[in-house]
Chain A
């Protein structure tokens, strides 16, 4: 996804003089061609992540469209007050793009994991949040974000589904059934499809989670025998439980939230697939949880 991101932004910079990229060492090679063509508009601030976000805000105050990009924890958690104050509170926008997902590279340990990023953006008003599952989904998300002036967070991963599933800004229906709805976000889609193979459930797919397509969820729930919803997110478990509850507030329903565990730090290295198992986000874990929930 990082290559598609860099290539899409680099191409857009050739025609849109508003776009400026702010980096903190990470991905500087990916943006080297853009830096050669537009040396004033690719700004590597060094390992200074508070400054990186503030520079984005300052660029926006000057009328530019900042694209601020680094590894997830250093983009979202370390400079969180800068995101709150130097973008939203200044009434300016930016496109923030993280790489690394929740635990794409577990060998680097807890310092390089950011399962709480989307939950943090939920504490701030006005953010669009994309969590795509395939590189081919990126251009449709990036092009309006680059042309606009609003607040957008794009969560890139080195992992991907076998193919792109998104067919528009709302939820895409991948499978129809009667016993429940399983909403798969981004990179969880292939595991969800494998886990629900042969089960009588609807599978929805989301590459964009904020704004939350509540109408799409309601429409799917209306086709069910029982209003049971399973939410599968590649970040902190239950992050979207509130928008699900809001979308279904007029009807009794049940919700099972699956995602990265909130209970403890996983002090282990290894592969992302091994961490999927720990969090119950592998196909086997999802299948077991869905079967138990739907009965």
Chain B
């Protein structure tokens, strides 16, 4: 199995997939968020893939999964060698992750607007089993929030006070019609706790993920493209 690697080694892992030595790291909007989650926040590890009490991370924005695969490899979920022939016919790694093929991938994604609704169901299932200490963290993109299915989930999770649920909305302002006033407000009006941070600042991300939010689900809006962050 792979030796655990440091954050600084992620760009080289990503470059083995993209073939782009110069731009791959900065172009990847999710790399910092993913690293902070897997390095310091989520209670997960490669030897507990089936532990019912593990935290769950649902990569809802499945497009552009290179940073996700790199973090899974760096943390020992994946054998590092598989990144070299990703998207080949018999590779476990595709342009969209398949949970059946990728150790550590909790959901299969690619079509937008599925991860958050699935996470609501998982939190309800965990709660029904008395597993109230388990976190479910969903990563969505700002353009992904165009999908109406997300808004069905945001409303219900807020009303039910699903405080085991966290959404991290990576906002690189990629949506055509945008979210005037920001993304977090869409959640807080439905009863969520909301925090907006620099999506490249590891300490701010860590604080946003770990400050308690009793009785409410949490949205962390991670801004990408701020001055100095690229």
Residues of chain A at the chain B interface (Cβ within 8 Å): 17, 20, 22, 40-41, 43, 45-46, 48, 50-51, 54-64, 66, 81-82, 85-86, 89-91
> Inside 8 A of A57's CB, which chain B residues have their CB?
118, 121
Q: Once the chains are docked, how many angstroms separate the CA of A20 from the CA of B128?
A: 9
Given known A40-B128, A46-B156, contact A82–B114 (CB-CB < 8 A):
yes
Q: List 17 A-B contacts (CB under 8 A).
A: A17-B129, A20-B124, A45-B152, A45-B156, A51-B153, A54-B120, A56-B121, A58-B124, A59-B125, A61-B106, A62-B121, A62-B125, A63-B125, A81-B111, A85-B114, A90-B118, A91-B99
Shortest Cβ distance from residue B101 to the other chain A in the assembled complex, whole angstroms: 10
> Inside 8 A of A60's CB, which chain B residues have their CB?
121, 125
Given known A51-B152, A81-B111, A90-B107, contact A61–B117 (CB-CB < 8 A):
no
> Inside 8 A of A59's CB, which chain B residues have their CB?
121-122, 124-125, 128
Given known A50-B149, A51-B156, contact A58–B111 (CB-CB < 8 A):
no
Shortest Cβ distance from residue A278 to the other chain B in the assembled complex, whole angstroms: 35
* Most B Cβ at <10 Å: residue of A17, A55, A90: A55
Which chain B residue has the least Cβ–Cβ distance from A20?
Answer: B128
Please state if B149 and A54 are interface contacts (CB–CB under 8 Å).
Answer: yes
Q: Once the chains are docked, how many angstroms separate the CA of A82 from the CA of B52?
A: 24
Produce 1/0 per residue, B93-136, CB < 8 A to A.
Answer: 00000011000001110010110011111111111110000000
Shortest Cβ distance from residue B155 to the other chain A in the assembled complex, whole angstroms: 8
For chain B, the count of residues having a C-beta within 8 Å of the partner chain is 29
Please state if A55 and B120 are interface contacts (CB–CB under 8 Å).
Answer: yes
Please state if B126 and A62 are interface contacts (CB–CB under 8 Å).
Answer: yes
> Inside 8 A of A85's CB, which chain B residues have their CB?
108, 111, 114
> Inside 8 A of A54's CB, which chain B residues have their CB?
114, 117-118, 120-121, 149, 153
Q: Is B148 an interface residue (CB 8 A)?
A: yes
Produce 1/0 per residue, B68-105, CB < 8 A to A.
Answer: 00000000000000000000000000000001100000
Please state if B117 and A51 are interface contacts (CB–CB under 8 Å).
Answer: yes
Given known A46-B156, A61-B125, contact A51–B120 (CB-CB < 8 A):
yes
Which chain B residue has the least Cβ–Cβ distance from A43?
Answer: B124
Q: Once the chains are docked, how many angstroms separate the CA of A138 from the CA of B99?
A: 34
Please state if A63 and B120 are interface contacts (CB–CB under 8 Å).
Answer: no
Given known A45-B152, A62-B129, A63-B125, contact A55–B108 (CB-CB < 8 A):
no
Residues of chain B at the chain A interface (Cβ within 8 Å): 52, 56, 99-100, 106-108, 111, 113-114, 117-129, 148-149, 152-153, 155-156
> Inside 8 A of A62's CB, which chain B residues have their CB?
52, 121-122, 124-126, 129
Please state if A90 and B99 are interface contacts (CB–CB under 8 Å).
Answer: yes
Please state if B118 and A61 are interface contacts (CB–CB under 8 Å).
Answer: yes
Which chain A residue has the least Cβ–Cβ distance from B100?
Answer: A91
Contact with A63, one of B114, B118, B129, B148 (Cβ below 8 angstroms): B129
> Inside 8 A of B149's CB, which chain A residues have their CB?
50-51, 54, 82
> Inside 8 A of A91's CB, which chain B residues have their CB?
99-100, 108
> Inside 8 A of A56's CB, which chain B residues have their CB?
121
Q: Once the chains are docked, how many angstroms separate the CA of A9 from the CA of B89?
A: 43
Shortest Cβ distance from residue B175 to the other chain A in the assembled complex, whole angstroms: 20
6 nearest A-B pairs in the assembled complex, by CB-CB distance: A58-B121, A62-B125, A54-B117, A55-B121, A51-B152, A48-B152
Q: Once the chains are docked, how many angstroms separate the CA of A61 from the CA of B153?
A: 17
> Inside 8 A of B120's CB, which chain A residues have their CB?
51, 54-55, 58
* Most B Cβ at <10 Å: residue of A17, A46, A58, A85: A58
Which chain B residue has the least Cβ–Cβ distance from A79?
Answer: B149
Given known A45-B156, A85-B111, contact A55–B127 (CB-CB < 8 A):
no
Q: Once the chains are docked, how many angstroms separate the CA of A20 from the CA of B124?
A: 9
Given known A50-B149, A54-B149, contact A86–B118 (CB-CB < 8 A):
yes
> Inside 8 A of B117's CB, which chain A residues have their CB?
50-51, 54-55, 58, 82, 86
* Most A Cβ at <10 Å: residue of B106, B117, B149: B117
Shortest Cβ distance from residue A280 to the other chain B in the assembled complex, whole angstroms: 39
8 more contacts with CB within 8 A, not counting A58-B118, A61-B107, A61-B118, are A17-B128, A20-B128, A50-B148, A58-B124, A61-B121, A81-B111, A90-B99, A91-B100
Shortest Cβ distance from residue A87 to the other chain B in the assembled complex, whole angstroms: 10
Q: Once the chains are docked, how many angstroms separate the CA of A50 from the CA of B111?
A: 13
> Inside 8 A of B52's CB, which chain A residues have their CB?
62-63
